Structure 1
Amino acid sequence: MATEDSTHSGAATPAAPPVRKASWKLVGPGIVVAATGVGAGDLVATLIAGSKFGYTLMWAAVIGCVVKIALAEATGRWHLATGRTIFDGWRSLGSWTTVYFAIYVVVWGFVYGGTAMSSSGLPLDALFPGVLDLKAWAIITGLVGLVFVWFNRYAVFEKVMTVLIGVMFVVVVYVAVRVSPDVGASFAGLLPVLPDGSLLYTLGLIGGVGGTITMAAYGYWVNAKGWSDSSWMKMMRLDNRVAYVTTGIFVVAMLIVGAELLHASQVAIAEGDKGLADLGKVLEDRFGGFTAKLFLIGFFATSFTSLIGVWHGVSLMFADFVERLRAARKGSGGDDEAVVAVARGSRERSVPFRAYLLWLTFPPMTLLWLEQPFGLVVAYGVLGAFFMPFLALTLIWLLNSSRTPQEWRNGILSNVMLFLSGMLFIVLCVQQVRELPW
C-alpha cells in the first residue's frame, strides 16, 4: 500500500507505461487468492472465537483483513513494478531463501495435499451418507482437482473459482442472516477489547484467516491474468481490496454464526475441518434439513476452492522455482524470459508445474490411511509457522531497496503495516511452534 504521493524523483522513465483505468469487470486474481486462502479450518477457528467470546473480537477480524490487504498489495506491487517474480526477489536476498523454500514447498505440499483432500471429502460424505467412505470422496476430489488444473489455463480456472466463491458468499451470509444477528452487539464488537483468555484467539483471528502461501502466489495470478507491468497497478489495488473485503464479510458472518448459534446455547464443536460438519448438524437441529444441506454445499465450495487454488498457485511458484535454478546453472538470471513465459501462460504447461501437481495429489493419499508421522507433523508445523513472517519481512526488505524502482517503493503506511504484520506473525509463529507435539 505505497502512498500515491510517494517520491517520484528518478523513478519514472520515458518508456514508463501509461496508467490503465481500474475496472470492476477485470477483478479476478484477488477473488482467486481470497477463495484459496479461506479454508474450512480458518472458518472453524473464526466460529470457535465467536462461540467463546461472542461479538467481542469483531474488531480483530477487521484488522486481519487490513493486514492481508497490505501483504497481498505488496506482493502484487513487486511483480508489477519490477517485472520479476517473488521467488526471484527472494533469491536476490541470498541462497538461504532457496534452501528454505525448497524444503518448505516439498514438506508443506505433501501434508497439505492430504489435508485438502480430506477437507473437501468431508462435506460430500455428509451430503451423500453411505454412498462412499470419506477416503474415497477425498481421493475423488484430489483427482478432480488434478484433472481440472492440468487441462485448464488461468482464464477458466478464474471463472470456476469466481462461481465457487459466489456459492460460499451466498451460503455463509444466508446462514448469518438466518441466525438473527444482534446488530447492536456486532457494532459494539468493533471497539477493541480483550476479554480474559482471548489474546491468542485475537492474534489468530488477525493473522489466520486468508493467510497462507497463496498470498505469495497472488503475484503469479496477477501475471497469469496478463497484468505484467506497473500500468496495471491501480487495477491490482482495486482487485486486492475487493478480495479482502469479501474475506472480511466471510469472517464477520462466521463470527455471527458462532456468537448467535454456539455462544448463546453453549454448543461446542470440534476444531479443524470436522467443526464444520458439526455445525451442519447444529443447523439441521435448529433450522431443518434444507439449511443444513445448503451449508454443506457452501462447506464443499470453501474446501474445494482451497484445493484447486493451491494445486494451481503453488504449482506456478514451484515451476518458477525450478526455472530460476536452471537459469542459475546456466549463469543467467532469465528474468525477461520468465516474464514472457508467465504472460503466455506456458508455465501452466511446463513439466515442473505438472510434476508438483502430481506431488500434491498422489503421495499425500497415503496420509488418508496413515496417521501423520510424528517428525513430519513437527517439520510441517515449524516450516508453516515461519512462512508468514518470512513473507512479511522479506517484502519489507525487497520493497525498500534498489531492487524496486523508486516510484514503487514502500511508503510509510506500507512499511508500518508490513512491519506490524511481521511482528504479529512472529508471535503466532512462536506460539505455534510451542504447541507442536515435540
Structure 2
Amino acid sequence: MADTTGNPTHSEASSGTDRTTSPRKSSWRHIGPGIVVAATGVGAGDLVATLIAGSNFGYTLLWAAVAGCLVKISLAEAAGRWHLATGRTLFDGWASLGRWTTWFFVVYVVVWGFVYGAAAMSSSALPLQALFPGVMDLRWWAVACGLVGLVFVWFNKYAVFEKVMTVLVGVMFAVTVYLAVRVTPNLPDALAGLLPVLPDEKDSVLNTLGLIGGVGGTITLAAYGYWVNAKGWTDTGWMKVMRLDNRVAYATTGVFVIAMLFVGAELLHSANVAIASGDKGLIQLGDILEEEYGSATATFFLIGFFATSFTSLIGVWHGVSLMFADFVARYRRGDSATGAEVASGERERSWPFRLYLLWLTFPPIVLLFQGQPFRLIILYGVLGAAFLPFLAVTLIWLLNSPRTPREWRNGPLSNVMLAAAGLLFLVLCVKQVWDQPWADFF
C-alpha cells in the first residue's frame, strides 16, 4: 500500500541535493507551462469581471488586479516547487495528509467537472454564434466546441497542446492590447489606480477581494505542476526555469486583465454604460465596439473572445484529466508513482485520462439541452469556492514539513504570500457559501 505517512518513498526525495542535477539557466526559450496556465486560467468570466470593475470604478481597482496576479504567482510557484523538489505529484502530497483530501478531490472533480464542462462549451460557443449568425443554434455550437476539444486533447501529446495554446495566447494578447490602445487610456489616472485605495461604495471590500481572487484560475493552478512535469522538467535543476516561466505566466495574465480594465474604465465607465455579468457581457461589449469603432474591431474582439474561452476549455480538458489520471493510478496500483516518472506521456495515453475527458464532454451536453439542475449548481459554487483555500492550506502544510527537502521548503515570503492567499480565499469561500439559497436547496 502507498506510504501515506508523509515521508518520501523515493530515495531522491530524502535530501535536498540527491535529486539536483546541473542547474539550467532560466532562459526564455524554455517557457511553456506558464503560457498554458495563463491561457487556461484567464477565461471569459475573468475578463468580464475585470471589465465590470473598470466600468463601475474606473481605474480605482487597478492595484487589485495586479495583486491578484501576485497571489496566484505564489500558489502556482508553490505547486511547481513541490513537484520539482520532491519528485512526487501534488495529489500524492495531498494523500499524505489524510483521506479527507482524497474525498474532497473526488467530489470536487466529479461535480465541478460536470457543470464546468457545460459552462466551458457554452462560453466557447457564444462568440462563434456572434461571428456566424444563423448558422447553428447556440447549443449545437457548444456541442461542437466540446467535441473538438475532446478530439484535440485525446489525439495530441503535451508538446502539440502547448504549441496550440501558445498560438491562441498570442491571439488573446494581440486583441486585448489592441483594445486597450484603441480606447486611449488615461495613463495618469491608470498610474494613480496602482495606489491601494477602496472605492467609496457599499461592499467595496468584498468586491475588491473578489477581483483579487478572481484573477487567473482555480484548479489550473494545481495542474501547473503536472504541466511542468509533462514539459520534461522533473528535478530541481529546472527550479529557476520554472520560476521564470511562472512569472511570465502571470505577467501575461496581468496584461490581459489590466487591458480589459482599461477598456471598462474608458469605454464603459466614462459613458456610464452597464453590461451583464457572465459571458454574455462580452457579447454586449462586441456590440458597443461595433458602434464605436466599426465591424472590423468588433470581429477582431470576438475572435479574441473565442481564443480566451477555447483555451480555458482545452486547458481544463488536458490539465484536470492529468490530475484525475494521477489520482486513479495511485490508488489502483497502490504506490506513489511520481510525476517525474509518468506525467511526460503515459498519463495522456491512460484510460483514466481519457475517461475524465469523456466525463467533461458528454454528460454536460445533457445540461446544455435540459438546463442546469439547481442543487448541482449550488454544490458547484460551494466546491469551487472551497478549492483555493484547500490548495493554499495544503501547500503551506506540505512545503513546511519533512515531506519537502529542507533546501526547498517555504521561506518567510512564501509563507506570508500563501497565508494571505489562504485567508483571502477563505473569506471569499465563506461569502460564497453564505450567499447560496440554502432554504430552497432542501
Q: TM (normalized to structure 2)?
A: 0.94
Q: Report if aligned partners of 1:123, 1:297 keep a CA contact under 8 Å in 2.
A: yes
**TM superposition shift of 1:225:** 0.2
**Aligned in 2, Cα 1:17/1:124: closer, same or farther, shift over 3 Å?**
same
The 5 A counterparts of 1:415-434 are 415-434=415-434
Residue 290 of structure 2 aligns with which residue?
284
In 2, the alpha carbon distance for the partners of 1:108 and 1:360 equals 9
**TM superposition shift of 1:339:** 3.1
Residue 252 of structure 1 aligns with which residue?
258
Q: What amino acid sits opposite 1:325 in the alignment?
A: Y
**TM-superposition CA deviations, 1:28-78 (whole Å, max 9, x none):** 000000000000011100001100000000111111111111000000000
In 2, the alpha carbon distance for the partners of 1:47 and 1:117 equals 22
**TM-superposition CA deviations, 1:228-281 (whole Å, max 9, x none):** 011100000000000000000111101000000110111111101111001000
**Aligned in 2, Cα 1:169/1:230: closer, same or farther, shift over 3 Å?**
same
The 5 A counterparts of 1:230-379 are 230-328=236-334, 333-336=335-338, 339-343=340-344, 345-379=345-379
Q: Report if aligned partners of 1:392, 1:419 keep a CA contact under 8 Å in 2.
A: yes
1:39 aligns with 2:43: yes
1:58 aligns with 2:62: yes
**TM-superposition CA deviations, 1:272-325 (whole Å, max 9, x none):** 111100100010011110000000000000000000000000000000010111
**TM superposition shift of 1:212:** 1.1
In 2, the alpha carbon distance for the partners of 1:334 and 1:428 equals 33
Residue 5 of structure 1 aligns with which residue?
none
In 2, the alpha carbon distance for the partners of 1:152 and 1:11 equals 36
Q: What amino acid sits opposite 1:342 in the alignment?
A: A
Q: Report if aligned partners of 1:41, 1:273 keep a CA contact under 8 Å in 2.
A: yes
Q: Report if aligned partners of 2:92, 2:336 keep a CA contact under 8 Å in 1.
A: no
Q: Report if aligned partners of 1:42, 1:209 keep a CA contact under 8 Å in 2.
A: yes
**TM superposition shift of 1:13:** 3.4
Q: What amino acid sits opposite 1:281 in the alignment?
A: D
Residue 108 of structure 2 aligns with which residue?
104
1:28 aligns with 2:32: yes
Greater mean deviation of Cα atoms: 426-435 or 233-242: 426-435
Greater mean deviation of Cα atoms: 371-380 or 390-399: 371-380
In 2, the alpha carbon distance for the partners of 1:137 and 1:53 equals 35
Q: Report if aligned partners of 1:203, 1:428 keep a CA contact under 8 Å in 2.
A: yes
**Aligned in 2, Cα 1:310/1:188: closer, same or farther, shift over 3 Å?**
same
Q: Which runs of 5+ in 1 are unaligned?
A: 1-9
Q: Choose the corresponding residue for 2:73, options 65, 69, 73.
A: 69
The 5 A counterparts of 1:153-192 are 153-192=157-196
**Aligned in 2, Cα 1:348/1:289: closer, same or farther, shift over 3 Å?**
same
**TM superposition shift of 1:334:** 3.3
Residue 4 of structure 2 aligns with which residue?
none
**TM superposition shift of 1:22:** 1.1
The 5 A counterparts of 1:83-122 are 83-122=87-126
In 1, the alpha carbon distance for the partners of 2:427 and 2:189 equals 29
**TM-superposition CA deviations, 1:148-205 (whole Å, max 9, x none):** 0000000000000000000000001101110110000000000111112322221111
Q: What amino acid sits opposite 1:252 in the alignment?
A: I
Q: What amino acid sits opposite 1:295 in the alignment?
A: F
3-state SS of paired residue (1:32):
helix
Q: What amino acid sits opposite 2:37 in the alignment?
A: V
In 1, the alpha carbon distance for the partners of 2:30 and 2:413 equals 26
**Aligned in 2, Cα 1:260/1:15: closer, same or farther, shift over 3 Å?**
closer
Q: What amino acid sits opposite 1:419 in the alignment?
A: A
**Aligned in 2, Cα 1:398/1:135: closer, same or farther, shift over 3 Å?**
same
Q: Report if aligned partners of 2:168, 2:307 keep a CA contact under 8 Å in 1.
A: yes
3-state SS of paired residue (1:190):
coil
In 2, the alpha carbon distance for the partners of 1:149 and 1:256 equals 34
In 2, the alpha carbon distance for the partners of 1:79 and 1:172 equals 33
3-state SS of paired residue (2:135):
coil
Q: Report if aligned partners of 1:211, 1:388 keep a CA contact under 8 Å in 2.
A: no
3-state SS of paired residue (1:303):
helix
The 5 A counterparts of 1:194-209 are 194-197=198-201, 198-209=204-215
In 2, the alpha carbon distance for the partners of 1:16 and 1:24 equals 21
Residue 151 of structure 2 aligns with which residue?
147
Residue 10 of structure 2 aligns with which residue?
none
In 2, the alpha carbon distance for the partners of 1:82 and 1:23 equals 23
In 1, the alpha carbon distance for the partners of 2:330 and 2:109 equals 15
In 1, the alpha carbon distance for the partners of 2:366 and 2:160 equals 30
Residue 7 of structure 1 aligns with which residue?
none
1:386 aligns with 2:390: no
Residue 408 of structure 1 aligns with which residue?
408
Q: TM (normalized to structure 1)?
A: 0.95
RMSD: 1.1
Q: Choose the corresponding residue for 1:228, options 212, 219, 234.
A: 234
Q: What amino acid sits opposite 2:122 in the alignment?
A: S
Q: Report if aligned partners of 2:48, 2:277 keep a CA contact under 8 Å in 1.
A: yes
**TM-superposition CA deviations, 1:366-400 (whole Å, max 9, x none):** 11122211110111111111000000010000000
Q: What amino acid sits opposite 1:368 in the alignment?
A: L
